[in-house]
Every structure is written in structure tokens, then in C-alpha cells.
Amino acid sequence: MRSIDSDIKALNDNLNETKNALNQLVKKDGTTLMTKDISEVIYSDANLKPDEVFVERQNSNFLSTLIVIVNK
């Protein structure tokens, strides 16, 4: 039973270290997905064909493409 407790504690410590490292990277970058320009990520995807997916690429005056990022 003690080995299970120590394993869980080790995993929890590892998770906390990973979360802290992520928070440090976000602070270092200075932006979040709420304020970051993600167009380079979207348009650099090899499987995505912007001319077929985005309305702006089809010269529409009435429609617009909206991309929503939802935080878990």
C-alpha cells in the first residue's frame, strides 16, 4: 500500500512540475491563445486548403469565417 501511495505522490509531483513549467513558458511568451495571432499555425497546416475552407478566400461579401478556441 505504501508503494502505491509513493507512486501516486511521485506522479502528482511530476504533474505539478509540468504545470509549473507550462505556466513559466506562458509567462515568458507573454501571450495566451486569447491574444495570440494563430494565423501562421492555421495556414501552415499541410492538410488544410485555405481556398476550400475559409470564406474570405472565396471573395464573399456577406459571409465571414469565425474560428473559436475553447479552453478546456
CB within 8 A of 72, min separation 6: which ones?
Answer: none
Number of domains in the chain: 1
CA atoms within 13 A on the CB side of 46: 0
Each residue of 14-39: pLDDT tens digit? 999 999 988 887 777 666 666 777 77
Q: Does 71 map to a domain?
A: no
Domain with 16 in it: 2-58
Per the confidence metrics, is the pTM higher than 0.75?
no
Domain assignment present for 69: no
Spatial CA neighbour of 39 closest among 57, 26, 21: 57
Q: Give tens-digit pLDDT for 37-72.
A: 777 777 777 777 777 777 666 667 777 777 777 776
Q: Which helix (H) or strand (E) holds 6?
A: helix 2-29
Greatest Cα pair distance, the chain, in angstroms, is 66
